[in-house]
């Protein structure tokens, strides 16, 4: 039998998930489609694996010799769209470590916000909910100056 505090916590979590889904937020992230991500925000599991459909057109960005692109993915079964950043990083042509991250916005009138951790190696972020009207993009920079980065296109 569950303790009362466990029941309350379980009901509160379920209630928050229902509110988020009704608001159109969708799941925040999943690293492999079955486990939560450790990226910023309240990450949750995705019920089914995500199929990587490859790079999204118009999302390739590069900065001082480092690059990144949004990869689109679809949840098996439901077809819900997700996005992740894929990076080729290292040392910039200016001698600084390159950084990459994924941003998204809830619709075309909202500002983009960083949703992933900063990456400094050639790897990828976890999967992030990106069903229309949500839009995702990658950013690459080396931060020699505060504005030393590039974010191009979105999916």
Alpha helices in 1-155 (DSSP H): 4-22
- Closest to 74 measured CA to CA, from 108, 40, 30, 37: 30
> H/E element holding 127?
strand 127-129
Task: Render pLDDT for 16-33 as a digit per residue (tens, 0 to 9).
Answer: 333 333 333 333 333 333
Task: Render pLDDT for 96-146 as a digit per residue (tens, 0 to 9).
Answer: 999 999 999 999 999 999 999 999 999 999 999 998 899 999 999 998 887
Report the distance separating Cα 71 and Cα 125, nearest Å: 10
pLDDT of residue 36: 30
Handedness of CA 17, 20, 26, 27 (dihedral sign): negative
Place of tokens 């974010």: 151
Task: Tell me the CB-side half-sphere exposure of residue 96, using CA atoms within 13 A.
Answer: 14
Burial class (CB in 10 A: 0-12, 13-18, 19+), 122: middle
């Amino acid at each position: 039998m569950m303790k009362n505090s466990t029941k309350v916590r379980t009901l509160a979590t379920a209630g928050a998930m229902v509110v988020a889904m009704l608001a159109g937020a969708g799941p925040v992230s999943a690293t492999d489609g079955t486990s939560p991500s450790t990226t910023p925000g309240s990450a949750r599991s995705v019920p089914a694996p995500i199929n990587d459909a490859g790079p999204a057109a118009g999302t390739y960005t590069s900065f001082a010799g480092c690059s990144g692109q949004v990869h689109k993915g679809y949840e098996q079964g439901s077809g819900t769209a997700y996005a992740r950043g894929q990076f080729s990083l290292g040392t910039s042509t200016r001698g600084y470590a390159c950084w990459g991250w994924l941003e998204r916005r809830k619709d075309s009138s909202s500002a983009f916000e960083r949703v992933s951790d900063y990456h400094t190696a050639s790897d990828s972020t976890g999967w992030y909910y990106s069903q229309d009207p949500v839009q995702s993009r990658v950013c690459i920079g080396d931060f020699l100056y505060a504005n030393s980065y590039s974010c191009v296109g979105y999916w």
